[in-house]
Structure 1
């Protein structure tokens, strides 16, 4: 490895040490360890350290084909110390400012989206539903009025027929009336007897099927 490559490797590892310090502060800022469960913190820590290791090795591979030397670790520690001493405060303020800007833009976007699309769409849906409900109520009222008119017409038609039937029934001889009444009583009794038989048969079948294991 030439001196130029070693020099570039040192600079790259110092930069990666500072990058690691900034990444660690960013990770702790968003993780909020006091509000997380231990197993979530454990998994996130493993993923964080694996990602940092892969990034550092990738940069090292680009600079010197991935050759690991002792001075590389010293350069990483120097870069991390440089960040902690000089850049940590500046980066923390910059990170908070970026978070505030992103949060403000996000809130504005949500409010804009809600005012431009969601709220009008919601009112349109409410209006359409209200119109359909109103039309349904009107149609239901018309149907009810129509049924009432139809029942009134049927009643008007049936009432004279009923009066005529009663008048004709009075003109029939008593023997005919008695025969008709007897036939109707007999028919009603047979109908009731058949109904009772059907009910008893269904009960018998139900008990038979119920007793089977």
Structure 2
């Protein structure tokens, strides 16, 4: 299939621009990987991904310019574009990428410091202040409680002395009548035995239920 001269020149120009674009992307990738200190183990992987992406992009450009026909001038345009880029624009691109990285780092650092100054530090200060206030109110409450106990203690002693004729016979009656019955009938032991029996019945019923489910 013959291709017109204008299409050939247009394809060569697009390949030249593609070569320049490949050089820009490769230098940017190289500077970013150096700045981020990517491990050497991952460098071959990223290089392979770069060349795969570059090949796909060049093929897409070639398809849009001359329907994907590969001719000598295609490779010539790519080589001229890559050579032109590294001769004229490589240092400028590297400097611009480094400047961009420094700018992003400066903005990120400023945002982080602003966030710490306006959000984190006030929250920490509020937490410490709240903790101090809680400790103060707790100590103040204990102090008031002790004062109230000291003030109420004489009235409590007076009330206890005044009601002694009432509660003292009640305690004596309890010791003489109720305690012997509890000791004789072993109420506490029977309650423990009843609780153990109920627990045993509950466990048996649960085991039987589980066995019925398995069947």
Q: Give the TM-score normalised by the residue count of structure 2.
A: 0.69
Counterpart among 35, 39, 44 of residue 35 in structure 1: 39
The unaligned stretches of length 5 or more in structure 1 are none
**Alignment counterpart, residue 157 of structure 1, candidates 149, 155, 158:** 155
The answer as to whether partners of 1:17 and 1:77 remain within 8 angstroms in 2 is yes
2:151 and 2:126 map into 1 onto residues whose CA distance is: 37
Distance in 2 separating the partners of 1:180 and 1:105: 86
Give 1:105's match in structure 2, choosing from 99, 103, 106. Answer: 103
Aligned with 1:35: secondary structure?
Answer: coil
* CA RMSD in angstroms, aligned pairs only: 3.6
- 1:70-81 to structure 2, matched below 5 A, reads 70-76=71-77, 78-79=79-80
Deviations 1:1-51, CA, capped at 9 Å, x for gaps? 32122122122223323433443444445456982546x844x45543342
Number of residue pairs matched by the alignment: 199
**Structure 2 partner of 1:53:** 55
Answer whether contact 2:18 2:78 (CA < 8 A) is retained. Answer: no
CA-to-aligned-CA distance 1:140-172 (integer Å, 9 cap, x gap): 223223322332344222212333455x48xx9
Q: Deviation per CA, 1:73-120: give whole Å up to 9, x if none.
A: 43245326x51xx64365443343223312321232133223433223
- Secondary structure, in 3 states, of the residue corresponding to 2:177? helix
In structure 2, relative to structure 1, the CA distance for the partners of 1:117 and 1:22 (3 Å cut) is closer
Q: Out of 196-205 and 4-13, give the one that drifted further.
A: 196-205
Report if aligned partners of 1:17, 1:78 keep a CA contact under 8 Å in 2.
Answer: yes
Partner of 1:186: 177
In structure 1, C-alpha distance between the alignment counterparts of 2:33 and 2:128, rounded to whole Å = 47
Alignment pair present for 1:7 and 2:9: yes
Query: Which of the residues 106, 127, 130 maps onto 2:128?
Result: 130
Name the SS for the 1:52 alignment partner: helix
Contact 1:17 1:75 in 2 (8 A): no
